[in-house]
Structure formats: structure tokens, C-alpha cells
Structure 1
Amino acid sequence: MTPERGYSLTFKSADDSNLLLVKYGEFLYEHLIIFAPSVEEFGGAVSVETITEFIDGGGKYFTSNMQINS
């Protein structure tokens, strides 16, 4: 995913208190990638319900629960 292909990446911590997927009734993103294997709750206004609405609204979603130990 590169800017040459029309994508821009935004990185956020899963527990960021300012997390949003929706603002003023509109999705802020078209794609959502989550790498947060040990998170029990998301920060901000993101929840399982919000992610479900995102997917049901046509958003693309990828997640991984694999934890990498170094």
C-alpha cells in the first residue's frame, strides 16, 4: 500500500483515547488493519459494534492476533 496506488496510511495505538472510525456520520477510512493481539478494549470511540458497522457499511477489514516475540 503506497501513495502511488492511491493509499495513505494512518497509524494509531489501539488504546489511543482519540480513536475514531466515524465522524459526523461518515466513515473516516475505507480500510481498517488491526494488529493488536493483546488489546481487550480499544480507546476512543472504537468498539466491536463500531467495527461491525464499518464492515457492514462496506469497509474493508484485516486483523491479526499473532503476537511476535523478539
Structure 2
Amino acid sequence: MITSKTNPQVKNLIHLQKASERKEQQLIVVEGRREIERALKNDFKLEKLFACGEICGEHTKIEAKET
């Protein structure tokens, strides 16, 4: 569980708000359950997934195509 804004992963996620960082790292940020499902169903490779337990709860389910 990540609880600090100074965590390197969180800092990088913030850097990815800039197009130049996304281009350099060849990454995109996908937000929201529906958009994550769409990305996975269209063969996007998931590198990291960040979720807020307070928002998602324990019953949130993401459907993905098996590879």
C-alpha cells in the first residue's frame, strides 16, 4: 500500500501528466474502470495498476481478456 506522495512511483505517475514524459517513457495513464477494461481488451500491456481502496472497495472487478 502506498500512502505517501513522495513515493517514487507516485512521483513518476505525476510526471506522466506531461506529454513529453509519456513520450520519453513510452507509457500512458489510463484512468477509470471502464477505460482500463477497454485498454486491456485491446491488447494494451498493463505495467502498473494503482487503485484507491476507498473508491474501489473490495467488490470492484475488472474484466480482462486472457492472454
Which TM-score tier does this pair reach, normalised by the shorter chain? 0.3 to 0.5
Name the TM-score, length of structure 1 as normaliser: 0.34
Name the TM-score, length of structure 2 as normaliser: 0.34
Larger helix fraction of residues: 2
Higher relative contact order (CA 8 A, sep 6+): 1
Larger strand fraction of residues: 1
